[in-house]
Amino acid sequence: MQIGLIGAGAMARAMARGWRRPLLIADPIPERAASLAAECGGEALPDNRAVAERADLIVLAHKPPQLRAVAEELAGAPRAVASLLALTPLSALKEAYPGCPVYRFIPSLAVALRKGAVVQAADAPQQEQLDRAVAEAFAELGELVVLEDSQLDCAMALMSCAPAYLALVAEAQVDAGVRRGIAPAAASRLVLAALEGSAALLAERSMDTLALRREVSSPGGATARGLDALERGGLRGAFSAALDAALERRG
């Protein structure tokens, strides 16, 4: 399956690195498309329509407000469309690309390493062989999770935003260690190893977060006191507020 990217921004670059195959790429900034094509062994094309005319599947990696303009530019050319557009439901995509098989996915930057998750919007079967091929292509990038279309925006705020949130958590932990005298480089190594190890432990325990917290904590011990401080500091409320803010529609 020949995949074409409409847009060569951060998410498109992550997916290209994860796919590790030649792609067709167009971007309003030609140098950006050329750079990514050179990296993935693909080809930068002069415009979006040129990509759509040659690709078996085009991936919409442009900005959501550009949906109509890009669809008009591509009218009649795409064989199949996969959208990465945030806050853009299947109904809007199908209206923009009538008569064309349309799929909706939300990945995260970790797909560059074939890690993390890719969420697909559930939909009625379109073309059995094509449906399977598209799902398999995105499953190469990470764990493929199928959710109702109405849940994809929430899923985006949970996992696609997560690298930035966890980077902030890591930064806060490093800063706390530095405040107590640990060298920044050493604190960074400790926190990174702790995050990686903790993720592995949670995966091994099937995300039984309570069991892991109990395993690490002893009554009245250092971890218990630290957890209490985080709860009093409003950690849960902060993440809940972050989810609500990410889902807030602007403009």
Note the pLDDT tens digit of each residue in 183-232.
Answer: 999 999 999 999 999 999 999 999 999 999 999 999 999 999 999 999 99
Within-domain flag for 100:
yes
Q: Domain check: are 81 and 105 in the same one?
A: yes
Residues 57 and 179 in one domain: no
Residue 152 lies in a domain: no
Residue 83 lies inside a defined structural domain of this protein: yes
- Same domain, yes or no: 104 and 215: no
How big is the chain, counted in residues?
251
Structural domain total, the chain: 2
Angstrom distance (rounded) from CA 193 to CA 56? 41
- How distant, in Å, are the alpha carbons of 86, 94, 209, 238, 243 from that of 247? 10, 22, 25, 14, 6
Q: Quick: pLDDT tens for 32-82.
A: 999 999 999 999 999 999 999 999 999 999 999 999 999 999 999 999 999
Q: 181 and 113, same structural domain?
A: no
First-residue to last-residue Cα distance in the chain: 37
Mean residue pLDDT of the chain comes to: 95
Cβ atoms of 60 and 82 closer than 8 Å: yes
Beta strands 117-121 and 3-6, pairing class: unpaired
Average pLDDT on 160-167 reads 91
The predicted model gives 108-118 an average pLDDT of 92
User: What is the spatial distance between Cα 233 and Cα 251, in angstroms, rounded to a whole number?
Assistant: 32
Angstrom distances, CA of residue 97 to CA of 20, 69, 122, 127, 216 = 28, 12, 18, 16, 52
Which one-letter DSSP state was computed for residue 219?
A: T
What percentage of residues in the chain have a pLDDT greater than 70? 99
* Whole-number Cα distances in Å, 148 to 39, 205, 246: 35, 26, 19
User: Is the confidence at residue 124, as pLDDT, over 80?
Assistant: yes
pLDDT exceeds cutoff 60 at 239: yes
61 occurs within a structural domain: yes
Domain harbouring 180, CATH code: 1.10.3730.10
Distances, alpha carbon 100 to alpha carbons 76, 94, 111, in Å: 9, 8, 26
> 102-106 and 117-121 as β-strands: parallel, antiparallel, unpaired?
antiparallel
Residue 111 sits in the same domain as residue 180: no
Task: Check whether residue 212 and residue 123 sit in a common domain.
Answer: no
Residue range(s) defining the domain that contains residue 123: 3-147
Q: Name the residue type at position 208.
A: D
What CA–CA distances, in Å, run from 49 to 65, 77, 101, 155? 18, 7, 17, 31
**Does residue 211 belong to any structural domain of this protein?**
yes
pLDDT at 251 over 70: no
Mean pLDDT confidence for 176-183: 97
pLDDT at residue number 250? 59
The confidence score (pLDDT) of residue 72 equals: 97
| Residue 78 per-residue DSSP state | -
72 occurs within a structural domain: yes
CATH code of the domain covering residue 115:
3.40.50.720
- Both 65 and 141 in one domain: the answer is yes
